[in-house]
Structure 1
Amino acid sequence: MTGALNRYRNMDRDWQDLADFAGAPVTQPSLFIGGGLDASTTWLADAIEAHPATLPGLTASHILDGCGHFLQQERPAETNRLLTDWLAGLPRHR
């Protein structure tokens, strides 16, 4: 649990270190997969609705019905298919 807890212990430092990026959109290609039963998709519904502005590089978004927070464990085959299909569709740079 140390690694997981250290993430939360470092949150204040992250705010300081990343202050210059506050409000900046994430322009890299991105994929969102969430669970329909995940409380986070309810609590952060406004953030998800704001994806066109905050994630202009978002190329796909999926909410898995009947799935909670740990979708990679609850629906591994579907999660892997969504990830691999998304990765395969990214442009290749040489």
Structure 2
Amino acid sequence: MDDVDRAEFERTGLTGALNRYRSMDRDWEDLAPYAGAPIEQPALFVGGKRDASTMWLSDAIDAYPRTLPNLRGSHLLDCGHWIQQERPDDVNHLLRDFLDSL
């Protein structure tokens, strides 16, 4: 965590960040009608190889050819959870390439 992030957490606290996790059950309820439906719009996945989320959700990532039929790229970078901070140049390059492909 850098000084900017630290200062913001000290200023605002963690309520906003924690509220995201508090609403997860509501997401399941709201999205229930779409269970199993593929996501059809163009998509890009970029994650970190050392991110616990990509390890826990490896089955979901393996299913992308079926669940994301218009996936334009899937990339696991050699970093953790905060890919945009750990590998900003790589993330920007992948995002630009993806947007140029649209």
- When normalised by structure 1's length, the TM-score is 0.88
Match of 2:67 in 1: 54
Q: What does residue 3 of structure 1 align with?
A: 16
Alpha-carbon shift at residue 15 of structure 1 (Å): 1.4
Q: Which consecutive segments of 4 or more residues in structure 1 shift more than 3 A?
A: none
1:81 is the counterpart of 2:93: yes
Gaps of 5+ in 1: none
Further displaced range: 26-35 or 36-45: 36-45
The answer to which structure has the higher helix fraction is 2
SS at match of 1:63: strand
Equivalent residue for 2:50?
37
Task: Give the fraction of aligned pairs with identical amino acids, expressed as a percent.
Answer: 66
Structure 2 unaligned blocks of 5 or more: 1-13
Greater RCO (Cα-Cα under 8 Å, separation 6 or more): 1
Larger radius of gyration: 2
Indicate the RMSD between aligned Cα atoms, in angstroms. Answer: 1.0
Question: Number of aligned pairs?
Answer: 89
Give 1:2 shift: 2.4
Q: TM-score, normalised by structure 2?
A: 0.81
